[in-house]
A = this chain, B = another copy of it.
Amino acid sequence: MTSQQDVLDTLAQVARAMGNGHRLALLERLAQMGAPVESLASKTNLTVGNASQHLQQLRRAGLVTASRSGKQMIYRLSDERIVTLMSLLRQVAETNLAEMERLVSQLFADDDAGGVMRAVSRDELLAGLERGEVVLLDVRPEEEYAAGHLPEALNIPLASLESMLDQLPRDREIVAYCRGPYCALSHQAEMWLRERGFQVRRFAEGFPEWKAAGLPLG
């Protein structure tokens, strides 16, 4: 006989799979693009064995799928909605946990006191793009850009910014984005470019959230 509690216990398994910082980091990486274990492990500072174990927990919870390609095992998010789930978790945490607010403000604290700009919301960005007032700058590694990016976005990984400055307009606002709300890349890009006189702000979210919202890519 199945009770409502059995169902809740199963739901709890899924929540528990998300209840570990390393696994959330893996999910965030996977939200950029599918990847093999070793790549995920190095990007999240886990040993390969440990990453493999965590990935299998995510798999048992139905959050990721694995498929073999040669001798590599490629893991992928099993559902776009998992990105939305993480966004909502973030919103709830930011609203209701003082600790969270503290950490986030610290994460984007301007050590060198450059002018901190409020991040651009999705709606603002959509409006700016609509009116052609905004140039999008994707500061993630080429590989991730290649796997999907916002429409018309220019890809200049952070390390290449210096050599590519002439690609960027000085008469339009630049909106930099990266992997998501807690990814530091776009924040660094914003500060670096601002010091050099560009009008630049960062997008409050990232590529995965844009994609999960069903907004146009390319």
Contacts and interface: CB of A to CB of B under 8 A. Distances in A.
A4 interface: yes
Nearest to A9: B21
Contacts of A5: 21, 25
Task: Report the copy number of this chain in the oligomer.
Answer: 2
A95 interface: yes
A4 B184 contact: yes
A7 interface: yes
Main secondary structure of the interface of A (DSSP, over half): helix
A89 interface: yes
Interface residues of A, number: 52
Nearest to A4: B182
Contact of A92 (B9, B81, B90, B97): B81
Interface of A: 2-21, 23-25, 28, 61-63, 78-79, 81-82, 84-86, 88-93, 95-97, 99-100, 103-104, 106-107, 182-184
